Every structure is written in C-alpha cells, then in structure tokens.
Structure 1
Amino acid sequence: MDTTVLPPVTLDELALLTRRASTVIDRLRERVFAPGTQKQLDLRFNVRTAAEMAGRTEKAIRDAEADGRLPAPEKDDTTGRRNGYALSDVNRMREVFGTLPHRAADDPPLVLAVQNFKGGVGKSTVVTHLAQYFALKGYRVCVIDCDSQASTTAIFGLNPDVDVDEEEDTLYPFFRHGGPKSLHYALRATYWPGIAVIPANLGLYDAEYEFAARMAREPTFILDRLREGVETISDQFDIIILDPPPALGMLSLSVLRAASALIIPAPPNNIDFASTAHFLKMMEATLSELSRHGGARSYSFVKILASKMNDQKSAHVAIKRMMDAVFPQDMLQAVLKDSAEIDNATANLGTVYEMTGPGTRTETHRRCRAYLDAVGREVELLARKTWPSHHRALRKEGLL
C-alpha cells in the first residue's frame, strides 16, 4: 500500500519552477531595461546645493560662468528657467575650483570589501549606496561585482543576461591561465559620473568550481590573482569597492586577500548576529590558513555595520546594545536602518540616492537619506585616514 502523502518532486518539475522564476525576473528586467533605453541619472542640483558640493559660494559659481571658466546651465525651452546642475557639472566646478577630494598619487587607494558569508544582510545595498555617496562627493570609484547573482551589476544599469558576456566582461577571464594582464578589459563606465563597474553574471557561479579544483595545485595564483588585478587599475581610482558572493568560496577568499579594509553588515537579530560571529571566527581561521600560502594580510580597518535596524523591535534594540558592548571599538557609529525607501528603490533596481520627484520631499525619504549619509561620512573619514596627504587637513578639521 502506498502511504506517500506528497508525490515526489522530479527534476522536470524543478526545471518548470526554474523557468517560472526566470519569467518573473525577465518581466522585471524588461520594465527596467526596456529595449533601446539606457539607465540615466536624472539628479539636478540648484546653485545653492551645487555651491555646497563644490565647496565654494554661489557668487564664485556665477563669476566662473560669467568669465567663461564654467558653462552656464541649460535653460528650459518653455519657462526659460535654469534646469539645474548635473553631477558632471558639479565635478567640473570642483576641477575649476581645485576642490576635488581625490587622494594624492602616492596615497594607496582604499580597496574596501563589504563582506559577510551570510546572504540577506544588506551587502549589495551597502555597496551601491556607498559607491554613490562617494561619487556625489567627487571621488573616483570602481565597483567590482564578484557575486554571480549580479544584483550590483543590475543596479548600475547592466542587464547581466544580455549586456554582460561571462567570457569577456566579468572577472572570469582574468582568473584563467594566459588571460588578460590587467582588469582594464572589464571596466565599464556607468550612468553615474565617477563610477566604473566590473560586472558579474551567472558565469561566475561555474567559475567557483573551476577555481576550487585548481586551488590544491596553485593556491597562490588563485588567492592573489584578484589582488594583482586590482593593482593594475588602482591608479585610476580613489576607492575600489568589492562585492563578494554571500558564501565561503574561492571568490570570497580572493576578496579577503585583495581588500585593504572590510565593512561587515550585520542585522541586529539573533540569527544574523550569530552568523556574523561565526563569520568572524571563520574569517580569522581562514586568513590564518591563507597566510601560510601567500603571506599574512592586514587591514586598515575592519568595521561592523548594524544593518536593517528596526528601532520598533525590542529585540533589535537589545542586540544592538549588546553589539556595542561586545565590539566597542569595532562598530560603526552610524546605523543603516530598515527602510521602505530602500526596499522600494531596490524593487526598481535603483537606489535611494538616485530617486527624484515629489517622493524625495517626504519625511521618510529624508530620514532614510540621513541614515545613508551618516554611514557614508563615517566610511569616508576612515578612507581619508588611510591617505597621508589628507592627514594635515583632518587635523585642521579636528578629525585626527
């Protein structure tokens, strides 16, 4: 007598489930990546905001426009009013006024990994918003997407299934013997002035198996290849942000070897905090083991960021208090709070920083933007502390 209540799920049925899931993703991407369109940055700044961003007065901007050092902003054909300044216009002002915040040529670039082996902790949210925060400040930023899920790639306007060739455009070719000598081949400009991206797609998932198979034969090549690649492009950027996969694999290990600093997003709930504690233990053991093959690595800073924080949940508040007590020197003071604004932006493969229109004038948006800015300012200060050329200014500002 057959006592099975539930029939077995066959591979054919799993394949059908996969196709249905792909259909949902395809529909979302069709909406975001409509044929013949490209993602654009629609941000515009009035002269007061542009002056604050450029570190000069409104009069200085007007004078520079009057004497031809700066072009005047375009005017609306109907109203005759100025359309405002794009981020590229603000960066041109910074060039003219000498206020671009770049590191000096002999300062090391910050190679920042946003790392946690657990998924769902807000890693890609932190990567994309940090990159855009730095771009708004005028820094030169590169984002390297090492995650085969390619969420960061999609947010920066590239359809991983259409616009990215795993054989040519991702990190994959660089890890092959006889591959490119530098990562320049994979750099892609984005619709954000100042941000370049090395994209990812599902092909990196297959690469994990290939790298693992080669690990026993050539551990140093696999572990340090990404670090060597980052060095080939480092002269072009102030900050290079690495977005690793949420798993302990070859790419994650390569990211740990390539990074000069770490941000660890950790939501303040029991499961995620426990996972972060395990991650730290695994990271210590892993780096100790890796040091036997390629030498010890140190970091300029390692900071834990409380992400997806909800002040209305007593458990979140209690665990955050415990995190502050256990890691008094290691927590970022800023907190990335749970926000519908981030969820809504992500649902449209975007970010809070690129939102425009009436929705940006709500209290919810302003509050979310304040959280993101606070995280960005704190990480920016840490970055500047790694650049000797900034130390004098930091002392003058009372920050060092």
Structure 2
Amino acid sequence: MALKQLGPDNASAYFHQFVVRGKEESESIRADILTEVGDGQRRLPRTWGAKRAAKMIGRSEGWLRDNDPDVPRNEAGHGRWTLARINELRKKAGTLYQRPAGSEPIIMAASKLKGGVGNTTFVCHAAHYFAMQGLKVLVWDLDPQSSATSILAALVPDAHLEDEDLPNSALLEDMSLFPGCIRKTYFHNVHLVPSNSALQDLDLKLASQQQSDSEFQIAPHERVRAALDLVKDNYDIILIDCAPALGMLTLNALMAGNALINPMRPSLLDLASYVMFTGSLQLFYQELAELPLKYHRIVLTAHKNTTGNERMENRTRAMYGDAVLTRRIMDSEEISNAATKLSTVYCLEKPIGARETYNRAIDTLDQCYGEIFEDLKRVWEMEGEDV
C-alpha cells in the first residue's frame, strides 16, 4: 500500500525551494525599503529639524541658527541636522555628555528564557536612544535569528554576510580577528557585531570545545568577554542581544556583562518563565561569585494597559520590588510599523501611522530609556568618585 502523506518525498529539496524564495523576497523587501528611505543601496542618516535639534543640544533655536548658519537644507529651505552635526554643536555648547573619568563602559546583556518578549526591540531602540544622548554604542547580536542585525544594519544577514564578517573564527580560532568584525551602522555612533544563522554552529562548537582539550587558551565560556576586552574602551555602552535560551553564547554574554536587563511581558506565562530563568541565573552566579553586577533591572514590555496586564504588573512589582523599572514600554503599533521598515521608531523621519501613535511610542520609549540612562549615570558617577 502506498504511503499516504501530506508532506514532500524529498524534504531537503522541498525546503531548499523555501530558502531560495525566502532570500529573493527578503532582498526585494529590503530594496523597496532602501529606495524609500535611502539611495537604493543604503539607508541615509536620520536628520532632525531646528526645534528638535535645538532641544537635543540644550540650546535655543536662535543659538542654533547663530552657531550653525551653513547647515544643509531640504527642498523647502528648512535646516536639517544629522546626529554627528548635533554632537559637534553639543561640544561647542558644552552640553555633550561625557562619561566620568575612571568609570568603565557598561556591558549590558539583554537576556531571557522565553521568546517573544521584545528583547531585540528593546536592544535596538536602546542603541539608538543612547546614541542620541551622545554615547558611543556597540551592539553584539548573539541571536542566530539575527533580527538586530537586520534592523541596525538594514541588510539580509544570510544573504549579505560572509564568514569573515562574523565573529565565529575569532571566538573559535584567533581572537585578534574580532575587531575586524565590528561594522558601522547607518545610525551615528552605533556599531554592530552582526550575526546570521551560522551563529548556531558557533554555539555548538563552543560547547564542544568546553568538553574537549582545545588548544585555545581562553575557556569557551569566556570568549565573548575576552573579545570585548579588546574594544570596550572605545564605547560607553555595549548591548548584547541574547537568544531565548541558556546556551553557550548566552552564558558567554552573562560572563562578559557587568549589567543585566530582563525584558518581560506582563503575562502569567512570561512571569512563570522568568521565575524559572532566575533559578538558572542564581546557579550561574553561585558558580561564578566573583562576577559583580553593577546594574540589573526587569523592564515590562508590550504593556497593553488592560486589566490583566495591570494585574500581572502589580504581581511582578510585589515580587521583585525596585528591580522592576518604574517606566514600562507600552504596546505600540508604531514600534511594530518601524520593524517593517528595518528600523526603530527613533530612526523614522516621519510617522508610518498616525502622528499621535508615533508620539506615544516616542514618549513610552523615552521614559523607559531615560530612567535607565539616569541609573547608569549614577553608576558612572560613583565609579568616577572612587578614582
């Protein structure tokens, strides 16, 4: 009797067609986006008008006009300022934030056990927010899904990245290769260590080296920390986007980090997952007690302001107290819209949806990241005082 089935006889050939079609469609979508927001090949830098630029600098529009009369103008004759230009004017005005002498860069792992909590959304928007405050930011995409790479570099990771673009060889064979993996992004002062699906192999090979007598002198779970030691002094904050699993790469991120952020949706299943995750964290830090955490917070994401969300938020705050950020990231259609443009809300020149929706998204993000920034400034100030 013939086998009755609803699937293919040759699964490999069948899914190969999916791969080809997926890459073609991804390339087509990217080309459409870059034609809309760039020159067809790359995304152009975000610019701001006089009112917003003056606010970012901390001076009046009159001061801005007097001190930068030669700013490039759009077709309507209005001045448009890039972030690089704004930072130069901040230096002139004495308003550019400088991390205190003697303080160390923050290396913040964004980690969770459950997927779908907004981890990558948090990291990408955090990178752009901190850069807008004048900080130098590095993002390391340690998730094989590579969503942070897609958003921050506006590319199709599996199509556009070669082996030499990835940190795999650096972490497995020659650490000196690592600085060459760092690339600039379209957003000023945001650099990226990219990823693609090959990162899955890296996770497995590091785990294999943990069990073998590898000639590599650095322990497999300390490779990310060793790599960042080569470049960390070039940055104020390093954000690591971890996969939703406690594999070797996530353990590396925890080893490297001196700060930890845990995004979590206000739902029962997310809370239950986080309870399990904290058990793993407790065991991890118990084994590595010499690792201090300068900063830890839970951030509630995709909050819908429903009765159920409010109830779970109250329960989470009752359990974890001050470890939960005061500000929440509210659920926003504009945040979702931005991702369809391989972008963050901060990079949008104009709203995709309604202006009111865009303003609410900016407001909820600014409040959350502003709270974190104030916390980090306190950490840096305390370190600077000890010098």
Q: Which residue of the partner structure matches residue 18 of structure 2? A: 20
CA–CA distance in structure 2, aligned partners of residues 348 and 58 of structure 1: 31
In structure 2, the residue matched to 1:184 is 179
Q: Select the residue among 182, 203, 209 that pairs with 1:208.
A: 203
What SS is found at the alignment partner of 1:95?
A: helix
- Aligned-pair Cα RMSD in Å: 2.5
Aligned to 2:344: 351
1:227 corresponding residue in structure 2: 225
Please state how far the C-alpha of 1:168 moved relative to its aligned partner.
Answer: 1.3
Distance of 1:203 and 1:182 partners within structure 2:
17
Distance 1:52 1:11, change over 3 A: farther
Matched, 1:304 2:304: no
Tell me what 1:317 maps to.
Answer: 310
* Cross-structure match for 2:156: 159
The count of aligned residue pairs is 376
Q: Check conservation: 1:33, 1:39, Cα contact below 8 A.
A: no
Residue number in structure 1 paired with 2:331: 338
- 1:145 is paired with a residue whose SS is strand
TM-score by structure 2 length? Answer: 0.89
Q: Structure 1 CA distance, aligned partners of 2:166 and 2:206?
A: 15
- The Cα of 1:285 is off from its aligned counterpart by 1.3
Question: Once the 2 structures are TM-superposed, how far is the Cα of residue 42 of structure 1 from its aligned partner?
Answer: 5.2
Which amino acid in structure 1 is aligned with residue 298 of structure 2?
Answer: I
d(CA) in 2 for partners of 1:146 and 1:370?
28
CA positional deviation for 1:119: 1.2
Deviations 1:131-185 (A, max 9, x none): 00011111111111111111100101232123322x31222112123x1326311
The 2-side partners of 1:55 and 1:150 are apart by: 36
2:57 maps to a residue whose letter is A
Q: Specify the alignment match of 1:275 in structure 2.
A: 273
For 1:283 and 1:19, how far apart are their aligned partners in 2?
A: 41
- Matched AA of 2:124: T
Supply the distance in 2 between the matched residues of 1:309 and 1:105 (Cα, whole angstroms).
Answer: 38
- Secondary structure of 2:231's counterpart equals helix
Secondary structure of the structure 1 residue equivalent to 2:300: strand
Give secondary structure in 2 for the equivalent of 1:357: coil
Structure 2 residue 256 is the aligned partner of structure 1 residue 263: no
Q: Bigger shift: 121-130 or 50-59?
A: 50-59
Contact 1:182/1:233 (8 A) holds in 2: no
Q: CA deviation at 1:352?
A: 1.2
Kindly report which structure 2 residues correspond to 1:351-370, keeping only aligned pairs within 5 A, or say none: 351-357=344-350, 359=352, 362-370=355-363
TM-score (norm 1): 0.86
The counterpart of 2:73, out of the listed 75, 78, 81, is 75
Gapped runs of 5+ residues in structure 2? none
CA distance in 2 between counterparts of 1:24 and 1:360 reads 27
Unaligned 5+ residue runs, structure 1?
66-70, 393-400
Given that 1:269 and 1:315 are in contact with CA atoms closer than 8 Å, whether structure 2 keeps it comes out as yes
Of stretches 24-33 and 198-207 in structure 1, the one that deviates more from structure 2 is: 24-33
Q: Cα distance 1:15–1:299, how it changes in 2: closer, same or farther (>3 A)?
A: farther
1:184 partner letter: P
- Aligned-pair CA distance for 1:84: 1.8
Deviates more, 1:202-211 or 1:356-365: 356-365
Corresponding residue number in structure 1 for 2:55 = 52
Secondary structure of the structure 2 residue equivalent to 1:192: coil
Distance 1:235 1:358, change over 3 A: closer
Residues 17 and 339 of structure 1: CA distance in aligned 2, closer, same or farther (over 3 Å): farther
Distance 1:110 1:133 in 2: 15
Aligned counterpart in structure 2 of residue 245 of structure 1, from 236, 239, 243: 243
Say if 1:107 and 1:337 are closer, same or farther in 2 by CA, change over 3 A. Answer: same
* Aligned mates of 2:54, 2:248 — CA distance in 1: 46
Which of 188, 191, 194 is the equivalent residue of 2:189?
194
Question: What is aligned with 1:398?
Answer: none
Amino acid of the structure 1 residue aligned with 2:192: V
- The separation in 1 between residues aligned to 2:130 and 2:123, in whole angstroms, is 11
The alignment partner of 2:298 has SS state of: strand
Using a 3 Å threshold, how does the CA distance of structure 1 residues 230 and 318 change in structure 2: closer, same or farther?
same
Asked whether the 8 Å contact 1:182–1:232 carries over to 2, the reply is no
CA distance in structure 2 between the aligned counterparts of 1:58 and 1:106, rounded to whole angstroms: 35
